[in-house]
Amino acid sequence: MSLFFSKDNKSLALFPLAPSTLLNHSLINSPETLTAKDSLPPQGENECLKHQQHYSQLLQKGSLQTSLRFENIHKKIGADIYRLRFFFKDGDEGERQSFLVYLEDQQANANIIEKSTYQKGKLFLKIEKAQGEILYREKGFTHDSENKNLFLQTINDQLVKISGPGIDCQF
């Protein structure tokens, strides 16, 4: 039995099975397939930094055509902290815009207090318009073009993730 330590040594994964013998119906003989190692994005830190700079600039200038896929806003109003979440649920005939309002409790757990579909709910609109302090803003976008289909995530306007063909970067 061999032991495998995860990168940060915080957990131990036991591999009583020899690697790559997990499946009975195992290896492909097809010449078209690539080895697993070959087919991970060849990402070095420098590559990721370049992507970060490039796409951060485009986002700041507003010159990257994107589609907003989700947004989370944490807003403090008086003593209360609300979270407004917009995202897409998956319908049988197509996606549906969904809007949630959470209220944080004393332990900073966020509990859903309003759910609405297709349009913002009354409470969502009320919290959105109310005076308060924005503590956190997270967005997820897609950028679709002929050459690339990218997913970008920002937290407080800082790019924290880019993924797509040949790109797998977290910052």
The answer to whether the Cα torsion of 24, 28, 33, 34 is positive or negative is: positive
CA distance 122 to 135: 22
| 41 to 70: interface string for another protein, x by CB under 8 A | x-x-------------------------xx
Using CB under 8 A as the binding rule, whether residue 4 contacts another protein is answered as: yes
Which are the contacts of 150, defined by CB distance < 8 A and separation ≥ 6?
55, 142, 143, 144, 162, 163, 164, 167
Which residue in 46, 63, 109, 131 binds another protein (CB under 8 A)? 109
Stretch that binds another protein, among 49-57, 58-66, 101-109, 123-131 (CB under 8 A): 101-109
Instruction: Give the distance, in angstroms, between the CA of residue 168 and the centroid of all CA atoms in the same chain.
Output: 12
Which residue in 55, 99, 102, 124 binds another protein (CB under 8 A)? 102
Q: Which is nearer to another protein, 61 or 168 (CB)?
A: 168
Q: Which is nearer to another protein, 13 or 61 (CB)?
A: 13
Beta bridge partners of 112: 102
Q: Which is nearer to another protein, 23 or 61 (CB)?
A: 23
Q: Which is nearer to another protein, 61 or 91 (CB)?
A: 91
Q: Least distance from C-beta 78 to another protein, angstroms?
A: 18
Instruction: Give the distance, in angstroms, between the CA of residue 128 and the centroid of all CA atoms in the same chain.
Output: 22
Q: Least distance from C-beta 171 to another protein, angstroms?
A: 11
Q: Which is nearer to another protein, 60 or 111 (CB)?
A: 111
Helices (H) and strands (E) in the chain, counts: 2, 10
Q: Which two tokens stand for residue 93?
A: 């005939």
